[in-house]
Amino acid sequence: MQSLTVKTQPIEGQKPGTSGLRKKTRTFMEPHYLENFVQAIWNGIGGAEGKTFVVGGDGRYFNDRAVQVILRMAAASGAAKVIVGQDGILSTPAASHLIRKRETDGGIILSASHNPGGPDEDFGIKFNGPNGGPGSEDLMNRIFDATTSLASYAIVESQDIDISTPGTTTLGGMEVEVVDPVADYAALMESLFDFAAIRDLFASGFTMCFDAMHAVTGPYAVEILERRLGAPKGTVVNGTPMPDFGGGHPDPNPIWAKPLVDLVMGPDAPDFAAASDGDGDRNMILGRGLYVTPSDSLAVLAANAHLAPGYAGGLKGVARSMPTSGAVDRVAEALGLDCYETPTGWKFFGNLLDAGKVTLCGEESAGTGSDHVREKDGLWAVLLWLNILAETGQGVGDLMRAHWQRFGRNYYTRHDYEAVENARANALMDDLRARLPGLAGQTFPAGTVSAADEFAYDDPVDGSHSEGQGIRILFDNGSRIVYRLSGTGTVGATLRVYLEAVESDPSKLERPAAEALTQVVETADQIAGIERHTGRTAPDVTT
Ligand code: VG1
Ligand code: CO
């Protein structure tokens, strides 16, 4: 088989963001665009020779083409083996698990997560290391550096490899193993949770709706919920993955999963409902008449994880991203657990998990996970909830109310302003930064500012230092406002404003979040001049 060295030139802007490189699909389809980045990955990790990788993606448009290119390039660079999900499919957590289970040198995941898919929408690629987790900032910088000086890439000439049936073939000197994308993952879930108890719960008439949003979790959810746990057929909706996710955003939040939210708020509400995102690493949790914020979900899981067999020994510690609410901190304090605050993005949890400092971690952006893999894991979170509901016999609403009575409540919401002109978004952040030194002591409707800074992080394991991770304003009554610009968008800038207020008075724990946060929202605009800078009077997405 002939290996070609194709001359190329550096392509501008191939800088990975919060979670890999994300661009318009058409950009990825431009000549050399994908190939350059894949070669830069090989260069960034010190070559592919003799190595074994996992490859798979969320099935979005161009997933199939990209897998074939990566197989040819891995073969040309001397990789020993690639393990690929059947039809190129692997959810992000399933890929993380395979990388770990098979002790590979890492893997490439093709996804733009919750961003829409299709020829005119988004595509993405990321590299995960041998621990199964997203490559570190340092590695991402090396890969980016490699993109800026690339002169050629290597690729073999061959027909497409058939990846439609499990089994092993070769491509040049490289082995290609096609695996069932669901089997290993489902077995891992069975090892962590009390499937018998959850089966009994379903058998008792407990009702659930899981919305796979036409994305990758469909086959995983059908196998686990309907086949292994005995939930009635039809419990999983939108369960067939589609290259354009049925035209929607596969983003499990109250805006993009509105039909599911409407269902739980209506007369036919099931006992429990959940949804996941494009690549299966996010989760949304709902009860009858109730949306559980991801920050609260993390806190509830931390308080109750010991009820599931995989966590019966208790937790080593917990971690949350900085913008995530402090609800889990209250649980950690009550249970005497260490609690870490990291920058946004799962890559910052990897060291803490590897070092055994934490068992559970989460982000306000609907991401929850544990040390069972090195990615957030949507279905895992749903199963842990189910295990807790089965064990306690309580409904979601009762569980939440009891949780707030015990730990207090962090009212929380996030406002996103999408596709803001870059210059305007940057001007807003620059102005804010300039105001930071004078803010402490000033009083606003939300309270008196006790501290204001730009978050920086020193990794307690490897000592690496990360700056510019979001501006936070803390108030003396525990309220908090965080501003940051998204690192996953593909059009203009997305301003995220994270709003939080703390309540311990037992008589004020069940107010609508929007009402409890009125003063904080007002203050966020007063301090940052959101309307003045962006011209927007309301957010595009509220979670
Ligand atoms: C967003 C979220 C962040 C999450 C990231 C990847 O990043 O805020 O918490 O880790 O998406 O999620 P940003 O930079 O746009 O705020 V996803 O499900 O790729 O996998
Ligand atoms: Co995702």
Q: Find where tokens 């067939």 sit.
A: 240
> How far away, in angstroms, is 93 Cα from ligand 2 center?
9
Q: How confident is the model at residue 38 (pLDDT cuts 50, 70, 90)?
A: very high
Q: Which of 113, 136, 295, 486 is catalytic?
A: 113
* 507 part of the active site: no
The answer to whether the CB of 344 is under 6 A from ligand 1 is yes
Over the stretch 156-192, which tens digit does the pLDDT of each residue have? 999 999 999 999 999 999 999 999 999 999 999 999 9
pLDDT of residue 19: 84
pLDDT of residue 492: 86
Reported in sequence order, the residue ranges of 265-316 that DSSP labels E, i.e. its strands, are 272-276, 283-287, 290-292
> How far away, in angstroms, is 382 Cα from ligand 2 center?
15
Over the stretch 300-311, which tens digit does the pLDDT of each residue have? 999 999 999 999
pLDDT of residue 354: 96
Longest dimension (CA), the chain: 73
* Nearest in space to 386 (alpha carbons), one of 289, 283, 252, 314: 283
Cβ neighbors of 106 (< 8 A, separation 6 or more) are 45, 51, 53, 54, 99, 127, 128, 129, 130, 135
Q: How confident is the model at residue 128 (pLDDT cuts 50, 70, 90)?
A: very high
pLDDT of residue 254: 87
Q: Inform me whether the pLDDT recorded for 79 exceeds 80.
A: yes
Domains, the chain, in order of start with CATH, read: 3-180 (3.40.120.10), 185-407 (3.40.120.10), 409-542 (3.30.310.50)
Q: What HEC string does 425-476 produce?
A: HHHHHHHHHHHHHHHCCCEECCEEEEEEEECCEECCCCCCEECCCCEEEEEC
The answer to whether the CB of 277 is under 6 A from ligand 1 is yes
Report which ligand 1 atom has the smallest distance to the Cα of 496: 16
% helix, strand, coil for the chain, step of 5: 35, 25, 40
Percent of the chain with pLDDT over 90: 94
Over the stretch 376-430, which tens digit does the pLDDT of each residue have? 999 999 999 999 999 999 999 999 999 999 999 999 999 999 999 999 999 999 9
Report which ligand 1 atom has the smallest distance to the Cα of 487: 14
The answer to whether the CB of 487 is under 6 A from ligand 1 is yes
Q: How confident is the model at residue 359 (pLDDT cuts 50, 70, 90)?
A: very high
pLDDT of residue 486: 92
Report which ligand 1 atom has the smallest distance to the Cα of 17: 14
Report which protein residue has its CA nearest ligand 1's atom 4.
345
Q: Report the mean per-residue pLDDT for the chain.
A: 96
Report which protein residue has its CA nearest ligand 1's atom 1.
488
Best substitution site from 19, 249, 363 to test ligand 1's pocket, by max atoms within 8 Å of Cβ?
A: 19
Report which protein residue has its CA nearest ligand 1's atom 18.
113
Instruction: Decide if 42 contacts 77 (C-beta within 8 A).
Output: yes
> How far away, in angstroms, is 226 Cα from ligand 1 center?
29
Average pLDDT over residues 467-496: 92
Instruction: Decide if 89 contacts 70 (C-beta within 8 A).
Output: no
pLDDT of residue 17: 87
Q: How confident is the model at residue 438 (pLDDT cuts 50, 70, 90)?
A: very high
Instruction: Decide if 109 contacts 90 (C-beta within 8 A).
Output: yes
Report which protein residue has its CA nearest ligand 1's atom 6.
19
Average pLDDT over residues 30-57: 97
Q: Which two tokens stand for residue 197?
A: 């108890």
Over the stretch 489-535, which tens digit does the pLDDT of each residue have? 777 899 999 999 999 888 999 899 999 999 999 999 999 999 999 99
